[in-house]
Amino acid sequence: MIIYIAGPMRKYPLFNFPLFNRTAAHLRKLGHEVFNPAERDVNEDGFDPATDKSRSIREYMAIDLPEVCKSDAVVVLPGWEKSQGARVEIMVGMALGKSIVDANFKPIANLSILQEADGLINGPRNASYGPPNQDFKRTADMWTGLLQFKMKDGECIRPQDVALMMILLKASRAQHSNKRDSYVDIAGYAGCGQRCMEEEMI
C-alpha cells in the first residue's frame, strides 16, 4: 500500500520527527510505500521546520494534501487530535474513503462531530473564507443593509448574530432531514460565533 503518515509536529521535541521516522521505517519493513512529511521537510531545499518557521499551515497543506489523495491509507500518530494539520489530513482521507489506521493497522474511530467541526473551521473553510470575525462581519453588514427598515435606528447585526442565525437555519434543516452534516455545521457555527464574540471583546 501507499501510506501517508499524519501526526502532530508543532510543540513537540524535534518536531516529533523521531516518531515519524520510526513509524516510516516500521511500515517500509512491512513492504509499504510511505510518504513521511518529516523526511520531506528536511530534504526539500534543506528546509527544516525546527529552525525555519516561516511556512504557514496553508503552505504545508498545499504540499501534503495531494500526497494524502495519492495514498491508500493514512497512518495516524498519537496526539493527532491536537494537530490542526493532521485533523485536516485525516478528514480529507476519510472523505476520499481511505483507511484511517494506527501504526498497527487498527482502525481509528470516526471523528466526533465536534472534532470534525473544529477541523473545518480551523482548516479548509478558514483558509477559503478567512477568519470568522471577518467573514461574518461582511455578512452582518449586508444583512444590516437589507433589514435596515425593520430595525431601530443605530442597531446593527453583529458577526456573532450571523452565527446564531445560521445555527437556526441548520436546526431547521435538521428537522426536515436528519443528516450528520447539519449537526457538524451547527457545532462549527457555534465555534465561529464564540470567536466573533471574543474578538469583539478585545
Domain boundaries, the chain: 2-111, 115-201
In whole angstroms, what is the distance from residue 53 CA to residue 183 CA? 36
User: Under 8 Å CB-to-CB from 199, ≥6 apart: which residues?
Assistant: 133, 159
Mean local confidence (pLDDT), 179-193: 89
Q: Which of 66, 89, 92, 73 is nearest to 34 (CA)?
A: 73
In whole angstroms, what is the distance from residue 29 CA to residue 103 CA? 12
Q: What is the mean pLDDT of the chain?
A: 85
In whole angstroms, what is the distance from residue 49 CA to residue 11 CA? 11
Confidence band for 55, pLDDT divided at 50, 70 and 90: low
Q: Looking at the predicted structure, is the pLDDT value of residue 202 above 80?
A: no
Give the whole-number percent of the chain exceeding pLDDT 70.
85
pTM value > 0.75: no
Of 192 and 94, which is predicted with more confidence?
192
Domain at 2-111: CATH code: 3.40.50.450
Confidence band for 119, pLDDT divided at 50, 70 and 90: low
**In this predicted structure, what is the pLDDT of residue 110?**
60
Confidence band for 168, pLDDT divided at 50, 70 and 90: very high
Q: Looking at the predicted structure, is the pLDDT value of residue 165 above 70?
A: yes
**In this predicted structure, what is the pLDDT of residue 52?**
55
- Distance, first Cα to last Cα, the chain: 49
pLDDT (tens digit, 9 = 90+) per residue, 56-77?
777 888 889 999 999 999 999 9
